[in-house]
Structures are given as C-alpha cells and as structure tokens.
Amino acid sequence: MPFKKGLAPIRRTLQYLNSSKLVLRERVKVFCMHYNMEGENHKGTKEFVFWHLTQLQYKNPNVQVLTFTDMTPTPFIRIFTENEEDILVDCDSKSREEIHDHIKKVICKSDEKLREEAIEREKKDNPANFGWGCERQCICEIPGQIPCPGVVPLPKVMRGKYKNEEAN
C-alpha cells in the first residue's frame, strides 16, 4: 500500500473498494447523505461517510453520490430513483453498522443477485471469441483459416465486385 497518506489509507486500496457489497439497484440515480459535523446523533452517519461512501461511489459509478453538511438537525439519507421517487432513511442516533445493513437490505442488490451477475460476467469471457477485447483480434490470425485480405488478396471468386460485374 504505497502513499500511506491521510487518515485510514486502507480506504484507498482497490481491495477495500472492491470488497464492498453496497451495489445499489438500477433504479437508484442519486444518493444524498445529510449530516452535521457536531452532534452525538450524527456520529454514526459521519463514520458511514468516512468508511463506506467512497466504496459506494466506486461500486456505483453511474450514481451521483453527495453529502450535505449542517443543513438539518437530524441526519438522514435521501435517495432519488428513476421515477423521481424520494426514499428517506432516518439515521438519527444510529451506528455505522446499522446504517450499512439497512441500506444493504433496502436499496442494494442482494448477495444472490451479485453472485448471479458475477457468473454472467464470467460466461461472457468466452476464450473461443475473437475481436476487440478478446485474446485474438481476427480469424485470419488462426492457422488453417484464410489469410488476412490486407496482406494476401482474396481470389476473385470470393470478391463481391467481380461477382457483381459478371452478373451484370
């Protein structure tokens, strides 16, 4: 872990960021945290922001994750969904773990769903495929297939312009 800068630099490791299970459901578009800097009832929310907010943003790059400080006396979380629905989570005097578990249960994808999605992602990485992002760029690289037409021109039988000319 190079650059051990700042408070709790473990939060800045890829392993920590990837280990989070807080993957929000697709309908969630905006995630706002409201809390104050001072106040015993805000302590849990402050700790949640310190430990878990970067994880949440990392796992949900398409969600706008915001914090609002010193706006209201009680801490809460406000979530806006696709249908402009407003979900409120009261965090007054709740601990970091309670908030984390509640958010996970209510508005995040379940562990089963995450496992299913991980399996689907593995299926797509088929080694037999070729093209951009795969092991082999083109079928012409494989021995036994037709060589690259950019290097060796195709026979006239296979070329559309000659076939169409003959037809005309």
Partner 1 sequence: MVYLKVKNLLLIGQCIAHNAPSATRVQIKMQDFNSFLKLYFGKHVLLYAHDPEQKCKDGDIVLIRKREEPLTKYITHDLVKIVYKYGDITCPITGEKVVGDTYRKTMALTKELYGVAEDGTGGFDYDSAPERGWQEDRKDFSHRVTYKKYHEFEPGHPLHNDPTAIP
| Interacting residues toward partner 1 by CB under 8 A | 3, 12-14, 17, 29-30, 32, 36, 38-39, 54, 57-58, 61-66, 68, 70-74, 76, 78, 80, 82, 84, 86, 88, 90, 92
CB of 31 to partner 1, least distance (A): 10
CB of 73 to partner 1, least distance (A): 5
What is the chain's Cα-based Rg?
A: 26
**What does the block give as tokens for 148?**
């690259």
Q: Which is nearer to partner 1, 54 or 95 (CB)?
A: 54
Q: Which residues are CB-contacts of 27 (< 8 A; sequence separation ≥ 6)?
A: 81, 82, 83
Write the single-letter amino acid at 17: L
Q: Which is nearer to partner 1, 61 or 155 (CB)?
A: 61
Q: Count the residues in the chain.
A: 168
CB of 108 to partner 1, least distance (A): 18
Q: Which is nearer to partner 1, 64 or 110 (CB)?
A: 64
**What does the block give as tokens for 37?**
């800097």
Rounded CA gap, 78 and 100, in Å? 14
